[in-house]
Structure 1
Amino acid sequence: MSPTTDLVEIEQLLARYAVAMTRGDIDHVLKVFTPDGTYSAFGDTYPLDEFPALVAAAPKGLFLVGTPAIDLTGDTATGTQPLCFVEHSEHAMRIGYYNDTYVRTDQGWRLRTRSMTFIRRSGTHDSGRPHAFTRS
């Protein structure tokens, strides 16, 4: 494949993530990850089997993402994608960005890791409050 084709496929993968998160469709969210994929936030890393509980505990709303900056290296890539999350009931916003790793699989490009960084009003960039989510 050409680098342009790879970039478009990764961008579409990330668009599917944002749309599925907005719709609360955890099954489709999980499909954008590799089976060994992880999500990091709140001072911890979560394997995919814990991701549904993490999403269930999170506020619901619009996941508005920007075009990712992606660096391709053969069948792997890294990237950063800006995010503005707008909570549905009060329209409170959270802003930040994802740092990602991607891998080409037999099913196409998939997220291997996604790590959330929040941007605070103070200008601080952090992974969130460690106790914002409690594991069961």
Structure 2
Amino acid sequence: MNPPVEDVIELEQLCATYALKMTQGDIGYIIEHVCTDDGTYSAFGETYNLEDWPSLVEAAPKGLFLTGRPVLELDGDTGSGEVPLLFVDQTNHHMRMGWYSDTYRRTENGWRLRTRRMTFLRRSGGADSGRPHDPRRPKPSAGRPG
């Protein structure tokens, strides 16, 4: 069964907003308007709570987040999806590609992103969650578990 068109459009806009605001460096907007209060981001073998996102984004390269439409599975007020991603570094135009695996929850303010997990595609043909040894990347805080 296909999810309601209104929900699909709202979630497509949510994912597009995330990509645009990441490209613009507006993590505050994402935390305030895109994520649930208990939202998390997982990559590099770690899970980061919302309070960690600003320092994580600050340490990361800046550039273009180009995403495709999400493939969605919805069940009432919750759902999951996968979103293709191409990131192009602004300073050298090196690319990172892969996909996000998401969970969503409908709130009183509409659909929000609850969890986002990154999988990178490698030249070798493999896929993984990233390089956990990057010295610029902060460790998650001791806040809420992910």
The CA distance in 2 between the partners of 1:36 and 1:113, in whole Å, is: 9
Counterpart selection for 1:49 from 51, 61, 74: 51
- Indicate the residue corresponding to 2:130 in structure 1: 128
Aligned mates of 1:79, 1:29 — CA distance in 2: 18
Normalising by structure 1, what TM-score?
Answer: 0.96
Could you list the structure 1 runs, at least 4 aligned residues long, displaced by more than 2 angstroms after superposition. none
Correspondence for 2:21: 20
Q: How far, CA to CA, are the matches of 1:55 and 1:134 in structure 2?
A: 10
Q: Could you tell me how far 1:76 is from its partner in structure 2?
A: 0.5
Deviation at 1:134, TM superposition (A): 2.9
Q: In structure 1, how many angstroms separate the alpha carbons of the residues matched to 2:7 and 2:100?
A: 19
- What secondary structure does 1:7 align onto? helix
Rounded to whole Å, the distance in 2 between the matches of 1:36 and 1:112 is 7
More moved, 23-32 vs 4-13 = 23-32
Q: Does 1:70 align with 2:92?
A: no
How many aligned residue pairs are there? 135
Counterparts in 2 of 1:1-136, with a 5 A limit?
3-30=4-31, 31-132=33-134, 133-135=137-139
2:144 match:
none
Alignment partners' CA distance in 2, 1:118 and 1:22: 18
User: Is the 2:97–2:121 Cα contact (8 Å) retained in structure 1?
Assistant: yes
The C-alpha deviation readout for 1:60-110, integer Å capped at 9, x for no partner, is 000000111001111001000000000011110000000000000000000
The alignment yields a C-alpha RMSD, in angstroms, of 1.1
State the Cα distance separating 1:58 from its structure 2 match. 0.4
Q: Please, which runs of 5 or more residues in structure 1 have no aligned partner?
A: none
TM-score normalised by L of structure 2:
0.90
